[in-house]
Structure 1
């Protein structure tokens, strides 16, 4: 059974920061514009000194940003007392790969492709996923991208990478006019077939807690909750 610790390790390995720095009781991430997930600090022990992390992040040209996981209540309260706001509560999900490989992929519906085609980069760009996040994808070791087609046209994209038997899907983006037609389901299923070919036992993903449609979709596909987090950022960062 996959543990939350393995899930978080897969998150780091499949969506890697440009640099990870261990500083006392903290892990710092240098994201180079790749978003919160690759720029947030995480505590490695209770009672980690917040000032140490704040100073180090500023020294590396990043505003202080913290990822807070379940069970880190003391850290959460300490950050709140320092004026940090909650940002982007996020749910983590996981499922056995076999859960999503029970239905064959219809012909010309979804393809695993690396490196991404220009049309894939264009679809990501429409969802705000630009060059810095594409660079994050490129840093993952075992990876592919998924291109979905629907109504004989490009419809959506996703990214999946592998870490210690867990295939984690990121950056799912479906064009607005192709939504609510099952495109995201086929992206996830193609990712699962790719993961199966690579010997993965589980497939995982993240979605913000307020994305009702995405949470319903993944739960409907058989994903179960595992972990999650929220960020703490100072008001000017939100």
Structure 2
């Protein structure tokens, strides 16, 4: 019998994975058993272009299923990327390691009880202009303007209620985040602060604004994913009451010399 603690953790992972998929939807979602293939031809996001195993017991025909998934990725001009969470079968992890796949970009999924979290920021009404939000996000992050249409399409395809939060200094965007309300949870996506203004409380302000909005609309728990190597952001979220739930990382085949 599975350990009760492990079962409880896996239940939390399953719930957060489900809301995360809805919060950041791919153009295509294809199932091979419990392995979910997510594809987005218009945007290079790893989360939108990855193979996501969702059952630790689904370990049949690993090599064959990877090969078939690789064909789907190749059809849109992308290499196969596998995203491993605690829901992935250990045998798949062992297979990738044994075949010399490269592990990269670990992320931490964190959550917070909003009754205990620091959500005492000022009330702020979210934007209704998706394009304005996306343009601000790209300006802050330094990502190319060519991603604008794809990002607008992604945000417009999110089915749960969303809140777009933007801080500005004059006409200059300084911080943004996207809040997604889903089943008593609010997820934070696209958090960004202008690089030369970091450490001045803007990240705290924009995150608190989104959490406060979520709480006022019935959210009881917040969640987010942050790069494991992003120490300042991890420290900020912990200060606001977030704690680690689980981690995930990506795998890709190593380039041959």
TM-score of the superposed pair, with normalisation by structure 2:
0.81
Cα separation, partners in 2 of 1:201 and 1:212, compared to 1, 3 Å: same
Q: Pairwise CA RMSD of aligned residues?
A: 2.5
Cα separation, partners in 2 of 1:167 and 1:236, compared to 1, 3 Å: farther
**How far off its partner does 1:220 sit?**
1.1
**How far off its partner does 1:144 sit?**
1.8
1:227 aligns with 2:240: no
* Match in the other structure for 2:105: 88
Instruction: For 1:31 and 1:196, locate their aligned partners in 2 and report how far apart those are by CA, in whole Å.
Output: 31
Q: 1:114 aligns with which of 128, 140, 157?
A: 128
**How far off its partner does 1:196 sit?**
1.6
Shifted more, 168-177 versus 124-133: the winner is 124-133
Q: 1:189 aligns with which of 208, 213, 234?
A: 208
Per-residue CA deviations over 1:118-143 (Å, capped at 9, x if unaligned) read 37514424422732334322221211
Shifted more, 191-200 versus 212-221: the winner is 191-200
Q: 1:58 aligns with which of 71, 89, 94?
A: 71
Per-residue CA deviations over 1:188-227 (Å, capped at 9, x if unaligned) read 1111122123211111111111111111111111101112
Cα separation, partners in 2 of 1:35 and 1:27, compared to 1, 3 Å: same
- Answer yes or no: is the 8 Å Cα contact 2:176–2:191 preserved in 1: yes
Matched residues, number: 234
**How far off its partner does 1:15 sit?**
0.8
User: Gaps spanning 5+ residues in structure 1: where?
Assistant: none
Runs of 4+ in 1 over 6 A off after TM superposition: none
* Match in the other structure for 1:140: 158
Q: 1:156 aligns with which of 175, 199, 214?
A: 175
Cα separation, partners in 2 of 1:182 and 1:63, compared to 1, 3 Å: same
Shifted more, 42-51 versus 200-209: the winner is 42-51
TM-score of the superposed pair, with normalisation by structure 1:
0.87
**How far off its partner does 1:100 sit?**
4.2
- Answer yes or no: is the 8 Å Cα contact 1:42–1:66 preserved in 2: yes
* Match in the other structure for 1:41: 51
Instruction: For 1:195 and 1:119, locate their aligned partners in 2 and report how far apart those are by CA, in whole Å.
Output: 18
Higher relative contact order (CA 8 A, sep 6+): 1
- Answer yes or no: is the 8 Å Cα contact 1:120–1:147 preserved in 2: no
- Answer yes or no: is the 8 Å Cα contact 2:120–2:212 preserved in 1: no
Cα separation, partners in 2 of 1:102 and 1:231, compared to 1, 3 Å: closer
Cα separation, partners in 2 of 1:23 and 1:195, compared to 1, 3 Å: same
User: Gaps spanning 5+ residues in structure 2: where?
Assistant: 1-7
- Answer yes or no: is the 8 Å Cα contact 1:10–1:162 preserved in 2: no
Cα separation, partners in 2 of 1:55 and 1:187, compared to 1, 3 Å: same
1:26 aligns with 2:35: yes
Shifted more, 202-211 versus 145-154: the winner is 145-154
Q: Secondary structure, in 3 states, of the residue corresponding to 2:229? A: coil
